[in-house]
Structure 1
Amino acid sequence: MTQNGWGQQWPQQPQNWQAEFALPHDLRGPFIREFTPQGGYRHLHSQVASVLYYRNGGHSVVTVRGAEHHNKPLMGKPTSVCWIARGQHQVSFQLELPTSGDRSRFKAGADVNWEVRDFHLAAEKRVVDVERMLRPPLESRLRGVSRRYGLDSAQQVDEAIQDELASGRWNDFGADLGLVTQVFIRIDLGQAAADHHAQMVAVEKSTEVQQAMDTAQKARVMANMEDAQKLISAGEATQYAHLLAQDPSRAQDILAELQRQARAQRQGALDYLTNLINQGVVQRHQIDDQVRALIEFSRTASSTVFQNGVPPAPTALPAPPVPPHPPLPPAAPSDAPPIPPPAAPADAAEETDTPQDDTGVGGRA
């Protein structure tokens, strides 16, 4: 930001103070400061370059070796001055690069040697912190290399990164900030080996714990097997009683379920009887006995009404009942004399002996 107060004091500073100016050893970025000069500006420091901005949009880059002017007005004075560090500097920081499948991380150290190539661009970009601006693109490039290897291949990933840095594809790294850089990456092989060993130990312990849990679960199942078989063979009543004993607070739900099942069984028995009557399997005069059988069926819910199964439904209406015939006389034996025919009544004989003439008047012959 512009420091007007500092700029006003700048021309009046003693000459010996000017000679004592020095850049810090741990400089994080080339952008030192910006101020507004009062009157003309004279560049005196060799460790920085001055970027002068003019009202018309032009600028000048001034170092102890000379000045470069771009659209500078003839008699114009600078409205703002930015100091940009000269010389080569270094910034160091730590990185964590993912392994194959992002299962773990390689720990790495990064050293970036940087120097300003374009002072005007560095002032425009306001490069105050090289690490903050270069870390994201640096990690992005290195992740593509480290993800090819597992944690047990730390040496291989280190060699692959060195080959990548020496390939020439990193020559423009930082150029968009006005910098020329040289990047050094070192993978912490000792830490990678320790992490890999710890990972293997953790996997082994996890496997042992899982095996112990499986064994205990199997033992619990076998221990409960006999009780479970007894509970199943005891029937529904014992099972509901067992649930009620385990959790008495569920009594209301269990009783409601038992009542629902009883209603369903009664309704099923009634539907079953109705179906038999509709199909003609059960006659109405037989309902009393069948009702008793169905009541027994609904109570036990384990036996059928008919021992031989339900007869198939008739395909036509049943035939009407046939009246019973009188019994036939017993057959006569073969050696018995023939039975004479019964005698005719007297009136019948008379009617037989009296012939009738054509006139219809009977008379004797």
Structure 2
Amino acid sequence: MRSRARTLVPLAVAGLLLTACGESGSSGTGGAQASGGGASGDACAPVADDQLVVLEDDKQLQNADNVVPAVNMATAMANPALLPALDAVSAAMTTEELIELNAAVDLERQSAEDVAAGWVEENVDTAALEQGSGPIVVGGANFTESTILANVYADVLGAVGFDASVREVGNRELYLPALISGSEIQVFPEYLATVTDELNELANGPTEDGPATGDVQETLTALQPIAEQAGLVFGEPSEAADQNAFAVTQAFADDLGVATLSELADACGDGSLVLGGPTECPERPQCQPGLEEAYGLQFDGFRELDAGGPLTKAALQQGEISIGLVFSSDGALAQQG
């Protein structure tokens, strides 16, 4: 059963070192500077609105950072009920639900433990799962979403008979070795593309382009042999993803009738879009250059803000930029009203 002690026990105190326009859950800051050219119209000029909405990346510009359970291989082999229980979470979790869970903690100030327990009760039929036993420690990184997911995993494992607890283990440089060794943690909620490229680098050294792509199954196939080499196994990826995404206001999307980046490109051929994001966005292939090359989007200007943080979201809501870089599971994207 689930251990009653719900307080996270820090293994290490460290910030999550993630790069803007890169790993999931990343953040950054920047100044509010703008650069731009001459637009030939204003059809896609910014529209202020409090509600933000992500446009579908229908050409898979971003790598597939879907939430996926990572398990120490020896632990998985010794506990056949473990992976099926975690896969039940993957089968039920969506990006929309992950947004709501993040919003409940970050905006409504509920505890991650209570939010996770409520979600499991409503979404996972634990009575139908195979029973297990023995202690399992689920690791969580030191940011809201990881803490929620770690508690979701632990609650499901506890419900099927494991003595499951949660332990905060800091950043990937600390928790990945701990997971591989299995001595301190045995399970971790990971992000598919990011962990694929990380394990590939550990196995093969730094490369300009890692094996992760925007396709979930293609990335999972690339991950499996390098995970096995590291002594890890991975369950099924969920539909829920925390990756770079591009948001507009709901009013902007409604005015133009767009839901995808391709539709945005079709509607905004006059070059009046204003893009906002981190300082490096104009040079990063999955930011402005990718939007221009993959989708044919044209921009009137770029506003230097932050990586999916409060500056970008405020600039969208206040009608200062048309489209901005956000993270796909950000609680600020929760539907209002």
TM-score range with shorter-chain normalisation?
A: under 0.3
Q: Greater helix share, 1 or 2? A: 1
Structure (1 or 2) with the larger CA radius of gyration: 1
Structure-2-length-normalised TM-score: 0.21
Higher RCO, 1 vs 2 (CA within 8 Å, ≥6 residues apart): 2
TM-score of the superposed pair, with normalisation by structure 1: 0.20
